[in-house]
Structure 1
Amino acid sequence: MALRLDNVGIVVEDLAAAIEFFRELGLELEGRAMVEGEWAGRVTGLGDQRVEIAMMRTPDGHGRLELSRFLAPRVVADHRNAPVNALGYLRVMFAVDDIDETLARLRKHGAQLVSDDVVQFEDAYRLCYVRGPEGLLLGLAQEL
């Protein structure tokens, strides 16, 4: 039985830009490290690998993103611009306190709405998808 969702991993090319984007969203940098060696390659199945990682934590302390920049082996596929109905992992959804203010801050880091506007679902939520750095797909939800 799973105890909790520990983290979601996202592979990026520009680790510094991704860190700043997620800081702007309100996540805190827990730490950065180089992950390499035989043990790491056994976990991922990639063999000899060198990966620079940054662990980002949500303000409530429960959610984490592991941002990874692969130095070796090189990245072999690119799913960043896949449409929202593509197979596989889709996006990460964040609850925000003020969706308009959050969008204004994230736009300074290149975020763009996927559709033309923020949508309201009944009297419960305002929602949107945005493309962040490197085309990463994120969801934002403001509870009303």
Structure 2
Amino acid sequence: MNQSTTDSATHLVHVSLVVHSLSTETDFYHSVLGLSLGRKINMGNHVIQYIESGTPAMLEFIEYLDDRAISDDEEQELRHHLAFAVNDIDQTLAKVRQSGGEILNEPCFMEQLGFQSSMIQDPEGFQIEIVQYGNLG
């Protein structure tokens, strides 16, 4: 499923859940709910499994390969989050700054995933990943 966008509308790309067992979760969503498995990507210290939801937005399961527990510890690299694709990540982050929002990390290119990414935090403390596909250059 192609996640790129050509119009100016921001749209939901994925909902990410950190799980204890990638195999248990993917089996449930595939076997019980009938959802299709997407790409599986080894990111070094964690593995990502995409699950196609029947819409352009996907589920993204993350399993850490070390012994870390799932927690709400702000020091953990990735936690549960929403991800939105935008056409201009710098413009979006400028709006976050202007609105008093918090930028958790500046944009960086995620080579394994093929997009530029930045994590922000909404007023309630929920993490949101802002991603930009396409011409990054």
| TM-score when normalising by structure 1 | 0.40
Decide which structure has the larger Cα Rg and report it. Answer: 1
Work out which structure has the larger RCO, using CA pairs closer than 8 Å and 6 or more positions apart in sequence: 2
| TM-score when normalising by structure 2 | 0.42
Higher helix share: 1
